[in-house]
């Protein structure tokens, strides 16, 4: 996978995180990982189609999910409530939407799908041999793990 497919996610993640949550977010690492992975406590998956085709899973631990929901929703919702899941999905959707805009501006026209949320940790998911890069961001609440799998169609 080309670096030019991953870089458009770095600035939007930081920008959206800091704007929506008011917390700093710092890039910790980027590494090639297996096409198989295990979901976290809550995983939001955004599909990408067009010249690039793949999925962008965002992994949230309970700690980070709780922090996001408290800030975005402004009240104490249960983690499995529609409002809580909607807040996590919207955060992932906004980051991916901004990245898709940047990718399109760089000549890779693409669209995104609405988020799909997986609410249980431990589910094994495969991108069927397509490469993935794991991008880890650090925040005060906990780490945010974003997997980018966007081979050219």
pLDDT of 71-92, one tens digit each?
877 777 788 788 888 889 999 9
Cβ neighbours, 10 Å, residue 107: 8
pLDDT for 44 beyond 90 = yes
Q: pLDDT band for position 35 (50/70/90)?
A: confident
Residue 153 within a domain: no
Q: Which domain holds residue 113?
A: 3-148
Residue 121 lies in a domain: yes
Query: Could you tell me if residue 18 is inside a domain?
Result: yes
Domain count, the chain: 1
Within-domain flag for 44: yes
pLDDT at residue 45 in the model: 95
Q: Output the six-digit token pair for 103.
A: 């990718």
Q: How far is it, in rounded angstroms, from Cα 75 to Cα 13?
A: 23
Alpha-carbon distance of 136 to 61, in angstroms, equals 13
Chain segment 93-140, per-residue pLDDT in tens: 999 999 999 999 999 999 999 999 999 888 898 888 788 899 999 988
Q: Is residue 17 part of a domain?
A: yes
CATH number at residue 43: 3.40.1550.10
C-alpha–C-alpha distance, residues 48 and 127, integer Å: 13
Q: What average pLDDT does range 25-33 have in this prediction? A: 93
């Amino acid at each position: 996978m080309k670096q030019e497919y991953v870089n458009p996610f770095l600035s939007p993640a930081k920008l959206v995180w800091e704007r929506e949550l008011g917390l700093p977010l710092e890039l910790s690492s980027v590494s090639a990982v297996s096409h198989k992975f295990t979901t976290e406590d809550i995983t939001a998956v955004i599909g990408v189609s067009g010249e690039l085709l793949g999925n962008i899973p965002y992994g949230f631990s309970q700690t980070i999910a709780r922090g996001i929901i408290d800030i975005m929703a402004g009240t104490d919702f249960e983690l499995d409530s529609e409002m809580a899941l909607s807040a996590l999905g919207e955060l992932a959707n906004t980051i991916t939407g901004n990245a898709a805009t940047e990718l399109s501006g760089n000549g890779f026209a693409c669209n995104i799908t609405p988020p799909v949320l997986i609410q249980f940790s431990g589910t094994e998911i495969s991108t069927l041999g397509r490469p993935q890069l794991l991008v880890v961001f650090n925040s005060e609440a906990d780490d945010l793990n974003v997997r980018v799998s966007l081979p050219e169609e």
